[in-house]
């Protein structure tokens, strides 16, 4: 399940193949999510007993969307006693565009944190080696961090307000920023499933354990890690 920039997406997959999918406006997620899941099962002639794992975006992101996604994922996982895997949204954004940036460039993932701040993670090109993860910064503070990096192009993915973007560019004159098209700023189901599968291969989740959403700013660093 994915909640990204106004849309909540629920899908049923077999490994990385999407069998069926529904998009719901996030303002209607709490009302329609369960009914859309039930309709998907009906159309695919499946039931919850056929599901062996639940993957969901874990945040950071919109408080309301994440709350609906994770409460639903935990409830279904608990009912079936199956693993629930949460995937970091900043990592998902980067993973979805990793093949569109040069190997030695930087990749900056941004998600609006409101109040003039953005959630941010900085990765190294196609290796996605994290340099700084899970930051929550205003534009000038983020720019001050970026200009300390060795001079390489920085590709930016995600969506933040225009004012934040302009301040970031103005304060980051020593670095070359490339903003990827906004169409790349949504987390896709296939990306979530692939990244979640990689997480499972590294640290398998074998039984149900409730996950918590990553939307509380206090859980994010305001300084470089």
Per-residue pLDDT tens digits for 132-144 = 888 999 999 999 9
pLDDT at 213: 86
Cα angle 126, 189, 83 (rounded to 5 degrees) comes to 100
Higher pLDDT among residues 46 and 181, named by residue: 46
pLDDT band at 41 (very low <50, low <70, confident <90, very high): very high
Judged against a pLDDT cut of 70, whether residue 216 lies above it is answered with no
Query: What is the enclosing helix (H) or strand (E) of 176?
Result: none
What is the assigned CATH class of domain 2-89+186-219?
alpha beta
CA distance 110 to 161: 11
Backbone angles phi and psi of 143, in degrees to 5: -60, -40
pLDDT in tens, 72-110: 999 999 999 999 999 999 999 999 888 888 888 999 999
Position 27 pLDDT exceeds 80: no
Q: In what order do the strands lie in the sheet with 106-114?
A: 129-137, 117-124, 106-114, 154-159, 177-179
Q: What is the rounded CA–CA span in Å between residue 88 and residue 192?
A: 9
pLDDT given at position 225: 46
Query: Nearest to residue 143, comparing CAs of 125, 162, 165?
Result: 165
Assign 8 to helix, strand or coil.
Answer: strand
Return the structure tokens found at 79: 């009912």
User: Dihedral through CA 143, CA 145, CA 147, CA 153, nearest 10?
Assistant: -80
What pLDDT does 151 receive?
A: 86
Distance CA 212, CA 37 (A): 21
**pLDDT at position 29:** 64
* Residue 9 pLDDT level (bands cut at 50, 70, 90): confident
DSSP code of residue 186: S
pLDDT digits (tens, 9 = 90+) for 147-203: 998 888 999 998 888 999 999 999 987 678 999 886 666 678 888 899 999 888 888
Helix (H) / strand (E) containing 156: strand 154-159
Portion of the chain with pLDDT greater than 70, in percent:
88
Return the structure tokens found at 151: 């001079």
Nearest to 186 by CA among 25, 1, 6, 14: 6
Q: Residue 62: pLDDT band by 50, 70, 90 thresholds?
A: confident
Task: Supply the CATH classification number for the domain 90-184.
Answer: 3.30.420.40
What's the mean per-residue pLDDT of the chain? 86
101 CB contacts (<8 Å, ≥6 apart)?
107, 125, 126, 155
Per-domain boundaries in the chain: 2-89+186-219, 90-184
Question: CA 27 to CA 40: how far, in whole Å?
Answer: 20
How far out from the chain centre does Cα 28 lie? 20
């Amino acid at each position: 399940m994915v909640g990204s920039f106004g849309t909540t997406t629920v899908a049923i997959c077999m490994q990385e193949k999407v069998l069926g999918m529904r998009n719901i406006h996030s303002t209607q997620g709490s009302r329609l999510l369960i009914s859309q899941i039930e309709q998907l099962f009906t159309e695919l002639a499946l039931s919850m007993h056929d599901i062996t794992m639940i993957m969901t975006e874990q945040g950071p992101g919109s408080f309301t969307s994440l709350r609906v996604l994770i409460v639903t994922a935990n409830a279904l996982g608990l009912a079936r006693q199956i693993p629930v895997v949460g995937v970091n949204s900043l990592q998902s954004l980067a993973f979805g565009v990793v093949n569109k940036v040069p190997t030695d460039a930087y990749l900056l993932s941004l998600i609006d944190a409101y109040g003039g701040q953005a959630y941010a993670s900085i990765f190294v090109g196609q290796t996605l080696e994290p340099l700084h993860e899970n930051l929550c910064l205003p534009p000038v503070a983020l720019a001050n961090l970026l200009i300390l990096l060795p001079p390489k192009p920085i590709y930016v993915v995600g969506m933040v307000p225009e004012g934040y973007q302009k301040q970031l560019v103005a304060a980051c004159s020593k670095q070359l920023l490339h903003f990827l098209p906004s169409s790349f700023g949504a987390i896709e189901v296939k990306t979530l499933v692939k990244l979640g599968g990689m997480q499972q291969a590294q640290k398998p989740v074998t039984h149900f354990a409730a996950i918590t959403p990553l939307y509380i700013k206090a859980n994010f660093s305001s300084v470089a890690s």
